[in-house]
Amino acid sequence: MKKRYNSFADYYKRKYGSRLQKIVIDAGFTCPNRDGSISVGGCTYCDNNAFHPSYSTPDKSILQQMEEGMEFHRRRYRRATGYIAYFQPYSNTYAPIEHLKELYSEALSHPDVVGIAVGTRPDCVDEEKLDYLAALSRDHIVMVEYGIESCYDATLKRINRGHTFEQAVSAIKMSAERGLDLCAHFILGLPGESREMMLESTSLINSLPLTSLKFHQLQIIKGTPMEEEFEAHPEDFITFLLDEYLDFFVDILERLRPEFCIERFAGEVPPRFVNSTPWGLIRNVELLRLLEKRLEERNSWQGKLL
């Protein structure tokens, strides 16, 4: 049966003929809102240890992380026929281009690696770096993933992102002009944003030349400034029970262009990093099943309201 939304996994299968698995790489980057270039402290919600696997640590070489990650995923996903080196933690273009070339080349030197995915910020790319990534994309799969998080500048300022939505639009357009596959990441439930604001942001997202989208529900991570903010002003946050989030994300999907690939619609954080797990210990595969079920129950699909 055809899915009611455009799955990123299915997109990769259609485009490349087989399942490809991402291997998270920590190459020791930082961010300009951490090192004092534009701010300190980083994003108020962020603890990168909560978002990447134990095999991925910057004290290991890239090839060692690749080997350990492949072994980990071979046990879980035996259908994968190729691997993508996913430079995920922090801002993975925030370095001189010669250093980036060394890192990306090391990852691509592995015989089972068919491409790279580079997670970064809109203010950490320029013409030279994008030209280099475009050149790589002629012989390899190259995906650039921009953390945007919100379409509203007031929110971006509140969470200490250090860039504007206009900067995100500019970086995405520069990247799209070079034919790069582009993903954008958004968080649903950031402080100060109503349901109506989040739904209205879909019109801005629809205007962007993106390949795929990632959405996460906001999760309050222990020890972050946002944990303190949440405790002091819980009224500024919209928190979703699982059933509520499923319905809300269907509302989001109905407003999104059908050609966007949905790479993720919810996040998993290990329980030790959060004060509560209101959804229980549900895994991503079960969340996807529940989303399909809710779409069927509502007789809905991606782009229905466009």
| pLDDT tens digits in sequence order for the chain, 306 residues long | 478 999 988 887 888 777 888 999 999 999 999 999 999 999 999 987 776 777 888 999 999 999 999 988 777 666 667 899 999 999 999 999 999 999 999 999 999 999 999 999 999 999 999 999 999 999 999 999 999 999 999 999 999 999 999 999 999 999 999 999 999 999 999 999 999 999 999 999 999 999 999 999 999 999 999 999 999 999 999 999 999 999 999 999 999 999 999 999 998 887 788 877 788 788 888 999 999 999 999 999 999 999
Report the alpha-carbon distance of residue 240 to residue 266 in Å, rounded: 11
Report the alpha-carbon distance of residue 257 to residue 129 in Å, rounded: 29
pLDDT of residue 17: 77
Report the alpha-carbon distance of residue 54 to residue 30 in Å, rounded: 18
pLDDT of residue 282: 84
pLDDT of residue 67: 92
Structure tokens at 188: 């649903």
Are 238 and 187 a contacting pair, CB within 8 Å? no
Q: Can you give the pTM of this predicted structure?
A: 0.94
pLDDT of residue 278: 81
Structure tokens at 145: 């993933």
Judge residue 98's burial from the number of C-beta atoms within 10 Å of its C-beta, 0-12 exposed, 13-18 middle, 19 or more buried: exposed
pLDDT of residue 78: 63
87 beta partners: 25, 118
pLDDT of residue 176: 98
Pick one of 3.20.20.70, 3.40.50.720, 3.40.470.10, 1.10.15.40 as the CATH number of 8-297: 3.20.20.70
pLDDT of residue 49: 76
3-state percent breakdown (helix, strand, coil) of the chain, nearest 5: 40, 15, 40
Judge residue 274's burial from the number of C-beta atoms within 10 Å of its C-beta, 0-12 exposed, 13-18 middle, 19 or more buried: middle
